[in-house]
Amino acid sequence: MSAYLLQTIPRESFGTNHSGLDARTDTDSIPDKVYVLNQRRSQALREIDGANFLWLFHTKVVLIAGVGFFTDAYDLFAITQASIMLAQAYPQQNQGASTNTSAFSMGKDLSLKVIAQIGTFFGALIFGWLADTRGRKRMYGIELILIIIGTFGQAISNDGENVSIIGALIFWRFIMGLGIGGDYPSSAILASEFAPVRIRGRLMTAVIASQGWGQFSAAVVAMVTISRITNDTAKAADLMWRILIGAGCIPGLLALFSRFTIPETPRFTMDIERDIDKAKSDIDNFLQTATFVIDPDADVKRVCAPKASWDDFREYFGKFENLRVLIGCSLCWFSLDLAFYGLALNAPFTTKAIFRSDPTDMPYQRLWNAARANIIVTAASLIPGFYLCFLFIDFWGRKRIQAMGFTAAAVLLIVLGAICRDPLDGNRLTAMIVLYCILYLFFNFGPNTTTFIIPAEFFPTRYRSTAHGIATASGKLGAIVAQIVYGLTVEKQTKDEVDARNLRIMFFVCAAFSLIGVLATYTLIDREPRGKSLEDLSNEDQDNFITAPHTAYSGFR
């Protein structure tokens, strides 16, 4: 398909009184101009939706968008290991924990883990809204800078007389969380708005699959660091956690320049900046050359189209069918993250109970065992789960895969809870290891992927990022609740002695929320996004989207 197919459409195809493509002639009536502009917009959107996969451009989008998720997953595992290393490096901060424990007291350990999720909660809401008002491109580099600064700030934090190491880490982890939260809606929307319809699911799955590689990389870095620093001194532990956390900066630094040079999406240019001429020019450039040509001195020719406002927001989401989808996306993500993060953020203790570390092992050996267990789970289930989803997402559909993943997770969690009894040995232990790996396979070949994709496909362009930010924040609220509930459950125990009873409770609670995810998928998300354009899924009239022709002026408003 030609990138400027509309140039070949004869004037008479628009009707006897229409003027082909030139919507700016003075001889046309206003209705004629509006009709032509709507036709041009529709054709431009069809060209994006029907485009072929462009190796250079679409691969660049996947790699740039995936950096934030790589860092998010890297930190998810790194902090579970680093908190144990920190307890060894700063024993003066370990007051309140058992004398035999190798981790911080519950309050400090909980603070270190949950603060990043709190930052992500606020970052998703703030940057989701900003991406709809100021542009996807404008926010994209800022989010990554926050992630880099927050990660680097953690790595150079120290214990002082006035500010403890815990206080410093909490501050920097909140900053990092803000950036990660902002990255969720921006990366999702960027990928969805550039993607052709037939491969949109696979393109977005490739972005979120960076999480698997991030967690795998964190486990590898941990094992390499531990193998090189094999003594149990406080000085060695201090060096280990700094290397482990600080290495998370590297992918962000490599991608920073590309974040600032990635183009604005044509949908934002067309529907929010309301400049159809510029959007069509951008589409022509990237379909033919996989590049964008930016003219900073070009006049903005803005048309009249729906504009984001509080009244418009209430009108759109005041319709039950639109609000229902937003609630469905948010509830599904809440249910997923409560289960997923409840297990993942306590990985060293969950895997220690399942993979049965020896309680007499030195801290060095315990860290090694936790990293090894994480590599097994990641390589056997997390990464394969993402790529199974990649293969089937555009054939089976999002809803079917999400419901299947939630259902499988619920069944597996119930079985895990039923067989999780002391003593964990023999066939019971083997069964738990296998089921635990299969559980994470279905998390990723299911809701961990689809809850990220679905909110980026519904809703109009002017609210798409805001809605995705709301859904993301709901998920992170689930992660926060999971951590707090888990902390209260084991408050009277040392973290090194989490027993089968507490694991069993956690498995059953996670199973209950997985079942809620199944119900929400079928009852609240009423449409299947597969094979449909973003505009069709927005539930708005597209034939009369533009209501008046443009006027030319310079500058951005």
Residues 360 and 394 in one domain: yes
Residues 302 and 378 in one domain: no
Residues 100 and 111 in one domain: yes
Last residue of a domain, one of 307, 329, 362: 307
Query: Domain of 295?
Result: 273-307
Between 407 and 277, where is the model more confident?
A: 407
Residues 188 and 211 in one domain: yes
Whether 129 and 473 have beta carbons less than 8 Å apart is answered as: no
Residues 341 and 380 in one domain: yes
Residues 505 and 464 in one domain: yes
Structural domains of the chain, count = 2
For the question of whether the overall pTM of this predicted structure is more than 0.75, the answer is yes
Average pLDDT, the chain: 79
Angle between helix axes 136-155 and 234-246 (nearest 10 degrees) is: 170
Highest mean pLDDT among 2-16, 248-262, 321-335, 486-500: 321-335
Residues 327 and 238 in one domain: yes
Between 258 and 123, where is the model more confident?
A: 123
Q: Which residues contact 525 (CB under 8 A, 6 or more apart)?
A: 325, 328, 329, 332, 399, 454
Predicted pLDDT of residue 213 = 92
Asked, for residue 21, whether it belongs to a domain, the answer is no
Predicted pLDDT of residue 345 = 62
Residues 195 and 285 in one domain: no
Residues 243 and 158 in one domain: yes
**pLDDT tens-digit series, residues 440-497:** 899 999 999 999 999 999 999 889 999 999 999 999 999 999 888 877 766 555 444 4
Asked, for residue 12, whether it belongs to a domain, the answer is no
Last residue of a domain, one of 256, 284, 307: 307
Residues 291 and 239 in one domain: no
Give the C-alpha separation, 460 to 312, whole Å. 11
Least confident of 162-166, 385-389, 427-431: 427-431
Asked, for residue 117, whether it belongs to a domain, the answer is yes
Asked, for residue 53, whether it belongs to a domain, the answer is no
Whether 442 and 415 have beta carbons less than 8 Å apart is answered as: no
**pLDDT tens-digit series, residues 48-70:** 777 777 777 788 888 888 888 88
Asked, for residue 10, whether it belongs to a domain, the answer is no
List the structure tokens of 187: 């990366």
Asked, for residue 2, whether it belongs to a domain, the answer is no
Residues 344 and 377 in one domain: yes
Residues 303 and 315 in one domain: no
CATH number assigned to the domain comprising residue 226: 1.20.1250.20
Give the C-alpha separation, 465 to 132, whole Å. 6
List the structure tokens of 455: 């909110």
Residue 7 has pLDDT above 50, yes or no: no
Burial-class residue 304 by CB neighbours within 10 Å (0-12, 13-18, 19+).
Answer: middle
Task: pLDDT band for 172, please (50, 70, 90 cuts).
Answer: very high
Nearest to 221 by CA among 374, 337, 383: 374
- Dihedral, CA of residue 496, residue 497, residue 501 and residue 503, to nearest 10: 10
Asked, for residue 548, whether it belongs to a domain, the answer is no
The DSSP output letter for 197 is: G
Last residue of a domain, one of 252, 284, 307: 307
* Count of helix runs (H) and strand runs (E) in the chain: 22, 2
Asked, for residue 539, whether it belongs to a domain, the answer is no
